[in-house]
């Protein structure tokens, strides 16, 4: 079934009139967390009519010369891809956020700066997220993969499922069992910052200042050539490449500052539940509402000790306040997550045909359909809505407690976890049906 383009067109006009918006991504490392764990979290803020799915792809080997078709362009495939779990807008190849079997997590943000975002079709930032996860077994290697892709293929193309063009550059927050990295880009130019302890968040503005641990070899020279930097004062990526200085970002009361404040508030005691609470925070704007809203959320718990598994929680539904964070653990023999996998339209997909985006197919997966009905009940019926939310929280709390057993004792029987995420989705749907 196809639906009208008018909603998407209205959203694009709305976005063009508002201040730049994007998502929020967080990471907390010891000693900011409880125990020797790294906690990663991200809200994906996207057009309100967009469906976000959670999908799994196993590791795979490829022959020399094989290609991979990303959202808009085809690129060279690597010899081996790692198993990944992704939360992604259902119309594209890449992902807003995800993790791989080596416990590398990546989330991306839209950023706007002095350089114009390219309308020419290349790799989307979301494609780069997936490619980084498929090709890197550490956070630092993911940095290298990302910048190599930028140099070879560039970033660009429409970031919305609509014929009206909406483009941006990207920043990335990456972590593994030992550290985190922030990569911020402007076209093919980039800077990267290593984070080894404490906490870090990124939002819709550049945030790397003078602490730069890796960079494009011509980044500073290019800035001088453009007249953005005189080569004398200390170089700050955010001040040189952004419309706004770092100081103005911090004084603006933006989501970036609010996110940092919420992390600081729980410093030393940050857990998965803490991160979920931050992602649910509406007063700060981190949990977005309106035409541009939080359409999917992710929280990961990654023990520093390799004896214990990482646990990755996804909502696969809009508004984390009215959603359940459901756990996923990488084990052998996981099958596709059918309840959160959207319909596939193959070569008939309007995204694949040129001109693109002439229509929109119905991309709702089965959990989304059930959740859509329940969300309407929560909004319209106070007492019943409160009961539903309470039952959802009880289910989530139960799953967090169950996961704690694996995080502290390890996995003895991996067969019990093959259907962990899908079984939790079924429990969530059962909760809806009982309500």
Question: What is the model's pLDDT at position 119?
Answer: 82
139 touches 107 (CB < 8 A): no
Residue 386 has pLDDT above 80, yes or no: yes
Q: Report percent pLDDT > 70 for the chain.
A: 92
Task: Tell me the H-state helices in 103-236.
Answer: 125-135, 139-153, 219-225
Residue 92 has pLDDT above 70, yes or no: yes
Question: What is the model's pLDDT at position 253?
Answer: 43
3-state secondary structure of 172: strand
Reported as a single tens digit per residue, the pLDDT across 313-329 is 999 999 999 999 999 99
Q: How far apart are CA 95 and CA 129, in angstroms?
A: 6
Return the exposure string of 141-153: e unless at least 16 CB atoms fall within 10 Å of the residue's CB, then b.
bbbebbbebbeeb
Q: How far apart are CA 38 and CA 198, in angstroms?
A: 10
* CATH number of domain containing 57: 3.60.60.10
Question: What is the model's pLDDT at position 22?
Answer: 66
Task: For residue 23, indicate whether it is catalytic.
Answer: yes
Count CB-CB contacts under 10 A for residue 127: 27
For Cα atoms 121, 292, 318, give the angle at the middle one, nearest 5 degrees.
105
Residue 83 has pLDDT above 50, yes or no: yes
Reported as a single tens digit per residue, the pLDDT across 23-75 is 899 999 999 999 999 999 999 999 999 999 999 999 999 999 999 999 999 99
Among candidate residues 63, 123, 65, the one with its CA nearest the CA of residue 93: 123
Q: What number of CA atoms fall less than 13 Å from residue 362's CA on the CB side?
A: 8
Number of domains in the chain: 1
Residue 218 dihedral angles phi and psi, to the nearest 5°: -110, 15
- The burial of 341, by beta-carbon neighbours within 10 Å (0-12 exposed, 13-18 middle, 19 or more buried), is given as middle
Longest pairwise C-alpha distance within the chain: 67
Q: How far apart are CA 373 and CA 206, in angstroms?
A: 38
Give 130's DSSP letter.
Answer: H
Tokens 């998407």 appear where?
8
Integer angstrom CA distances of residue 356 from 146, 160, 186: 26, 11, 26
Residues facing residue 54 across a β-bridge: 87
Q: In the numeric block, which tokens belong to residue 121? A: 């079709």
Q: What number of CA atoms fall less than 13 Å from residue 235's CA on the CB side?
A: 17
113 touches 169 (CB < 8 A): yes
- pLDDT, mean over the chain: 92
3-state secondary structure of 239: helix
Residue 247 has pLDDT above 90, yes or no: no
Task: Tell me the H-state helices in 347-419.
Answer: 366-380, 382-409
Residue ranges making up the domain that contains 9: 2-434
Instruction: Find the Cα–Cα–Cα–Cα dihedral 214, 29, 146, 250, rounded to 10°.
Output: -70
Q: In the numeric block, which tokens belong to residue 244? A: 């706004």
For Cα atoms 163, 164, 168, give the angle at the middle one, nearest 5 degrees.
115
Question: What is the model's pLDDT at position 244?
Answer: 57
Residues facing residue 364 across a β-bridge: none
Mean predicted confidence (pLDDT) in 144-162: 96
Catalytic residue among 16, 23, 105, 257: 23
Q: How far apart are CA 122 and CA 56, in angstroms?
A: 24
pLDDT-based confidence at residue 403 (cuts at 50, 70, 90): very high
Mean predicted confidence (pLDDT) in 181-191: 96
Lowest mean pLDDT among 3-12, 42-51, 100-109: 3-12
Residue 6 has pLDDT above 90, yes or no: no
């Amino acid at each position: 079934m196809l639906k009208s383009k008018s909603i998407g067109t209205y959203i694009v006009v709305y976005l063009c009139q508002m201040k730049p918006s994007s998502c929020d991504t967080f990471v907390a490392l010891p000693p900011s967390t409880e125990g020797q764990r790294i906690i990663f979290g991200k809200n994906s803020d996207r057009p309100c009519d967009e469906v976000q799915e959670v999908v799994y792809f196993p590791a795979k080997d490829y022959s020399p010369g094989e290609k991979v078709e990303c959202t808009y362009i085809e690129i060279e495939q690597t010899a081996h891809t790692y198993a990944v779990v992704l939360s992604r807008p259902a119309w594209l190849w890449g992902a807003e956020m995800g993790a791989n079997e080596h416990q590398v997590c990546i989330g991306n943000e839209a950023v706007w700066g002095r350089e114009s975002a390219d309308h020419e079709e290349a790799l989307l930032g979301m494609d780069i997220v997936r490619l980084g996860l498929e090709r890197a077994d550490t956070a630092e290697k993911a940095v290298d993969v990302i910048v190599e892709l930028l140099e070879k293929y560039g970033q660009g193309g429409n970031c919305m499922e609509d014929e009206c063009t909406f483009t941006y550059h990207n920043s990335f927050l990456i972590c593994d069992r030992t550290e985190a990295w922030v990569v911020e880009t402007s076209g093919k130019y980039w800077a990267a910052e290593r984070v080894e302890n404490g906490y870090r968040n990124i939002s819709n503005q550049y945030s790397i200042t003078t602490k730069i641990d890796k960079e494009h070899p011509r980044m500073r020279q290019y800035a001088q050539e453009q007249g953005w930097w005189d080569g004398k004062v200390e170089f700050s990526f955010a001040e040189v490449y952004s419309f706004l200085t770092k100081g103005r970002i911090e004084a603006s009361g933006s989501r970036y500052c609010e996110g940092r404040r919420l992390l600081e508030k729980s410093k030393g005691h940050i857990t998965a539940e803490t991160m979920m609470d931050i992602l649910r925070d509406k007063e700060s704007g981190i949990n977005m509402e309106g035409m541009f809203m939080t359409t999917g959320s992710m929280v990961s718990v990654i023990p520093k000790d390799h004896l214990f598994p990482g646990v990755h929680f996804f909502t696969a539904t809009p508004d984390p306040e009215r959603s359940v964070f459901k756990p996923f653990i990488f084990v052998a023999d996981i099958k596709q997550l059918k309840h959160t996998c959207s319909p596939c339209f193959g070569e008939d997909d309007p995204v694949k045909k040129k001109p693109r985006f002439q229509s929109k197919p119905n991309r709702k997966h089965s959990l989304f359909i059930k959740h859509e009905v329940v969300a309407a009940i929560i909004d319209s019926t106070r007492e019943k809505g409160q009961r539903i939310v309470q039952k959802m929280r009880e289910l989530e709390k139960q799953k967090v407690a169950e996961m704690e057993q694996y995080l502290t004792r390890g996995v003895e029987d991996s067969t019990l976890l093959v259907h962990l995420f899908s079984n939790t989705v079924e429990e969530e749907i059962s909760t809806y049906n009982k309500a």
